[in-house]
Structure 1
């Protein structure tokens, strides 16, 4: 009498282990991550001029930030500029305060 087996089904991977799911999620985010853009000193100076201009005339500033392999965009007014720690404090449209490091900035645009 032959033994009735599940065949190939028993050797297929199952997604029931939490460690396996976490590993797949981590792998997917690593594959979607982007490299940090290289910014030369002229672009950096241009960004600083735009930030000072937006701060002086209270214009909205759209900042594209690179954090952990992904780009994030923030739009708000410059609340404070800290030259020592090289941070910009943006007051977003919804009232929250966002800290942005100078090293994380990918692009800056003034919204008049």
Structure 2
């Protein structure tokens, strides 16, 4: 049997009219990204105190640390040395392994681990 666009049971009639507008594509991609977002973890008092202690130990002894950060629904990790802790503006400056300086707000820090 020769299949064409008029053959019953086949959807070839509409194959040539398929298209996706740029607006549809943008919405599709943004929905795909939104599905991967996570809520910000809620840290209790003990975890916040532990983060604060790790910050001060790392800057005092110049330890190499790995930061876990929450940024706009996604987690990110930065490894480096703490350069400066700004208590008034509530942010930390980190110099990563490539020498790039990152300014991180205290509220975005989820966890800090020392690297041996």
Between the aligned partners of 1:85 and 1:111, the Cα distance in structure 2 is 27
User: For 1:59, what is the secondary structure of its paired residue?
Assistant: coil
| Other-structure match for 1:26 | 30
Between the aligned partners of 2:46 and 2:97, the Cα distance in structure 1 is 29
TM-superposed deviation, 1:11? 6.5
TM-superposed deviation, 1:47? 0.4
Q: Deviations over 1:32-61 (max 9, x none)?
A: 101111101110010010010010011111
- Structure 2's unaligned 5+ residue stretches are 7-11
Determine if the alignment matches structure 1 residue 96 to structure 2 residue 106.
Answer: no
| Other-structure match for 1:51 | 55
Structure-2-length-normalised TM-score: 0.84
Determine if the alignment matches structure 1 residue 7 to structure 2 residue 18.
Answer: no
TM-superposed deviation, 1:106? 1.0
Match of 1:74 among 66, 73, 78: 78
Determine if the alignment matches structure 1 residue 39 to structure 2 residue 51.
Answer: no
Between the aligned partners of 1:63 and 1:94, the Cα distance in structure 2 is 15
Q: Deviations over 1:50-75 (max 9, x none)?
A: 01001001111110000011000000
Between the aligned partners of 1:8 and 1:102, the Cα distance in structure 2 is 55
User: For 2:35, what is the secondary structure of its paired residue?
Assistant: helix
TM-superposed deviation, 1:103? 0.6
| Other-structure match for 1:110 | 114
